[in-house]
Amino acid sequence: MESPDRTRGAGRYAPSPSGDLHLGNLRTALLAWLFARGSGRRFLVRIEDLDRARDGGTGERQLRDLERLGIDWDGEPVLQSERGADHAAAIERLDAAGLVYECTCSRRDILAAPSAPHAPPGAYPGTCRNRSEAERRAAREAIAPRRPALRLRTEVAELSYEDLLLGRVRGDIDDFVLRRGDGTVAYNLAVVVDDAAMGVDQIVRGDDLASSTPRQILLQRLLGLPSPPALQYAHVPLVLGPSGARLAKRDGAVTLAQLRDRGIGDAEVLGLLAASLGLAAPGERVTAEALLARFEPSRLPREPWVWRDPEPR
């Protein structure tokens, strides 16, 4: 990819093409755009398509939905699936430093294993960490044809960072996966490598990812990549459905296409999102550009927004 213009910095939005964007995705995208444009940064888009094959146009529909709300971006969207060489190089660098080991544990094995004292639930217990070469060979043969995963050998149990909205955030760190047994690079590794390559220095995303961010900061440090305070994080509140769970397709009309079918146009959806952020009065029609003049991060709500399926008009 072309060398990014790092003099301006960049924010980004990085959806996974698992379906059309819903209101929660769109609200986060709008916030990421406002944070970036409001601070004079470039705004970039990356389609995080590592976990699934090309999906018949979902990524393109997602891009069109962003455009419908007035969200623009700089350059061409990046496909994460085309970034494999850099992901592999990062793992090789960590491996050369003695920080990578094979793991043959299944999810069931991890849950059944005794945990270390004070370890958080689900933390990797280190089963495969100190195996000899003979033990690793025997373990590989035992799971064939499945391949071992690769884990990071960490010496840091926790790490904290300053979030633009949440303040000081602390997160536990275990020996987390870098590459899964099916050969797919794990999210934590891919996102760190790709953000650095794209010149991203501001990451705005849902607050459900706040506690896992310390793993990514550790990787940034180990790989010599920008990390806080040179890199900003802002984890924003989610959109919830009426049950109090994170918004999902089961909650009715939640995408732009579904809302149009209910008689709610794209401009009205933008107004609803803006009102939920305190950037517009209820029922006010606004544009994304107009919201930039009103945007003040310190005044953003810290609580989630609850969406209720509207009646058809």
User: Is 14 known as a binding-site position?
Assistant: yes
**Is residue 12 a known part of a binding site?**
yes
> What's the rounded Cα separation, in Å, for the pair 95 and 254?
43
E-state strands within the chain = 10-13, 42-47, 78-79, 100-103, 149-152, 158-163, 167-172, 177-179, 202-206, 232-236, 239-240, 305-306
- Residue 168 DSSP symbol: E
Q: Please tell me whether 6 is known to bind a ligand.
A: no
298 is in an annotated binding site: no
Question: Binding residue per annotation — 128?
Answer: yes
| Amino acid (1-letter code) at residue 56 | G
Closest by CA to 68, choosing from 270, 262, 249, is 270
Measured in residues, the chain has a length of 313
Check the annotation: does 304 bind a ligand: no
Determine if residue 115 is labeled as part of a ligand binding site: no
93 annotated as belonging to a binding site for a ligand: no
Name the token pair of 143: 């799971």
Place of tokens 């043959």: 104
Q: How many other CB atoms are there within 10 angstroms of residue 189's CB atom?
A: 24
Q: Which CA distances in Å does 41 have to 76, 170, 285?
A: 16, 27, 26
Residue 267 annotated as binding? no
State the maximum Cα–Cα separation within the chain, in Å, rounded to a whole number: 68
Name residue 179's beta-bridge partners: 150, 185
Token look-up 């099916």 returns 182
Give burial (CB, 10 Å; 0-12/13-18/19+) of 110.
Answer: middle
Radius of gyration of the chain (CA): 21
Residue 15 annotated as part of some ligand binding site: yes
Which tokens belong to 99?
């920080």
Annotated binding site: 12-16, 48, 103, 105, 124, 128, 187, 205, 249
Binding annotation for Zn(2+): 103, 105, 124, 128
Q: Which residues are annotated as a binding site for L-glutamate?
A: 12-16, 48, 187, 205
Binding site for ATP, residues? 249
